[in-house]
């Protein structure tokens, strides 16, 4: 019978045997998988694990600072890299969703390689790959059809020539959470909703500007804070906001406004492959709508996405 305790013990000794006294470099994303993987590797080899956490400017409000801080508290040897301007610069004027994903994936690898190159004698690359990533990257990137290219699986160039350390490769998400709990990882990470690697870039339909990112971060923070305060956060699989490339007329005091629309998305699911829109209370949605329109400058309309997957996807891009 599989138990988290036995898995941890076995995995830590396997990593020790694999890595010995060599060094491992690893990118952290703030998500459950990379965090649990890093902590397992850290348990095995301590300070020989070097972590890199990149701010691509497309994370949630205050996410980079908060998460970096938590990593440091966990004792991880982590370097935070501010690469916002690089990402904003390269994404400027880009509207196509797949193009956005490709640019973000490429820049991420560039930044990560640059950081790794500054470290001497790195022999291994650590990754938080879990079993569904392995399956999905086969089917998503297979010959049949590219639905959405997930940039954070595999994809590191040949020339990095490093061995792979992937402690979670055969685990499902709920097992990863149980392992995380076993090794004392904070609920900040364990109870967190999934968040796509390309971040807010694929929740800003059309072209991305730093101003739009800020607007969406504010709206998203109101949405997520309300979900948490009302105890609904843990009842949904994933939630987020989408900034639509649409301006519409509104009225504020006795002024006519012409501003953006935000769509709220919340879904229930067990694996993200299929999903139902979350049937949240009207009163709750009304409060969120008011809060967003009152607090976030540039938004005068809020809509709720009532589409399920399939045929809609969870993300809008």
Closest separation in Å from C-beta 45 to ligand XMP: 26
Say whether 85 counts as a known binding-site residue: no
Tell me the CA distances in angstroms from 210 to 86, 88, 158, 222, 254, one per residue in order.
12, 7, 33, 19, 29
Tokens of 35: 């965090």
- If residue 261 lies in a helix (H) or strand (E), which one and from where to where? strand 255-268
Question: CA torsion 22→27→31→34, rounded to 10°?
Answer: -20
CB of 111 to ligand XMP, least distance (A): 17
272 binds ligand XMP (CB under 6 A): yes
3-state secondary structure of 285: helix
Any idea which residue has 């900034």 for tokens? Answer: 243
Within residues 145-174, the interface with ligand XMP by CB under 6 A covers 148, 150-152
HSE-CB for 54 with a 13 A CA cutoff: 24
Segment 197-256, which members bind ligand XMP (CB under 6 A)?
A: 197-198, 238
Min separation Cβ 23 and ligand XMP, Å: 26
Shortest distance, position 238 Cβ to ligand XMP, whole Å:
5
Binding ligand XMP (rule: CB under 6 A), the pick from 196, 204, 292, 302 is 196
Q: Residue 64 and residue 80: Cα distance in Å, rounded?
A: 8
Please, which residue, 19 or 103, has the CB nearer to ligand XMP?
A: 103
Does 30 count as an annotated binding residue?
Answer: yes
- Minimum CB distance to ligand XMP smaller for 4 or for 194: 194
Paired sense of beta strands 23-28 and 122-126, if any: parallel
**Nearer residue to ligand XMP within complex by CB, 16 or 309:** 309
24 - beta bridge partners?
A: 49, 124
CB 49 within 8 A of CB 74: no
Query: Measured at the alpha carbon of residue 76, what is the angle toward residues 70 and 78, in degrees to the nearest 5?
Result: 85
Residue among 43 and 102 whose Cβ is closer to ligand XMP: 102
Which x/- pattern over 115-134 shows residues binding ligand XMP (rule: CB under 6 A)?
--------------------
Number of residues that bind ligand XMP (CB under 6 A): 15
| Least separation in angstroms between CB 242 and ligand XMP | 11
The reply, when asked if residue 29 is annotated as ligand binding, is: yes
- β-bridge partners, 138: none
Q: Is 32 annotated as a binding residue?
A: yes
43 binds ligand XMP (CB under 6 A): no
CA distances from 137 to 64, 154, 171, 271 (A): 27, 8, 15, 15
Stretch that binds ligand XMP, among 107-115, 206-214, 287-295, 309-317 (CB under 6 A): 309-317
Residues 84-103 that bind ligand XMP (CB under 6 A): 101
Residue list for the binding site: 29-35
* Interface contacts to ligand XMP, rule CB under 6 A: 101, 148, 150-152, 194, 196-198, 238, 272, 309, 313-315
Residue list for the binding site for ATP: 29-35
């Amino acid at each position: 019978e599989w138990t988290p305790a036995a898995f941890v013990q076995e995995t830590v000794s396997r990593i020790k045997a694999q890595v010995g006294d060599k060094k491992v470099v690893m990118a952290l994303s703030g998500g459950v998988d990379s965090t649990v993987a890093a902590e397992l590797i850290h348990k095995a080899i301590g300070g020989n694990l070097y972590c890199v956490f990149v701010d691509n400017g497309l994370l949630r409000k205050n996410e980079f600072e908060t998460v970096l801080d938590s990593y440091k508290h966990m004792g991880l040897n982590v370097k935070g890299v501010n690469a916002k301007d690089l990402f904003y610069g390269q994404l400027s004027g880009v509207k196509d969703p797949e193009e956005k994903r490709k640019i973000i994936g490429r820049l991420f690898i560039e930044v990560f390689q640059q950081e790794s190159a500054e470290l001497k004698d790195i022999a291994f690359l650590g990754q938080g790959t879990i079993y569904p990533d392995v399956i999905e990257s086969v089917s998503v990137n297979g010959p049949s059809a590219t639905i959405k290219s997930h940039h954070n699986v595999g994809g590191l160039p040949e020339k990095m020539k490093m061995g792979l350390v992937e402690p979670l490769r055969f685990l499902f998400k709920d097992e990863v959470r149980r392992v995380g709990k076993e090794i004392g990882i904070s609920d900040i990470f364990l109870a967190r909703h999934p968040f796509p690697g390309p971040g807010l870039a694929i929740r800003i339909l059309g072209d991305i500007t730093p101003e739009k990112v800020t607007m969406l971060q504010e709206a998203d923070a109101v949405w997520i804070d309300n979900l948490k305060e009302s105890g609904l956060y843990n009842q949904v699989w994933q939630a987020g906001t989408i900034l639509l490339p649409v301006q519409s007329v509104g009225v504020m005091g006795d002024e006519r406004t012409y501003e953006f629309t935000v769509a709220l998305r919340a879904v229930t699911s067990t694996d993200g492959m299929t999903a139902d829109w979350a049937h949240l209370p009207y009163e709750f949605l009304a409060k969120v709508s008011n809060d967003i329109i009152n607090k976030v400058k540039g938004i005068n309309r809020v809509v709720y996405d009532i589409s399920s997957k399939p045929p809609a996807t969870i993300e809008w891009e």
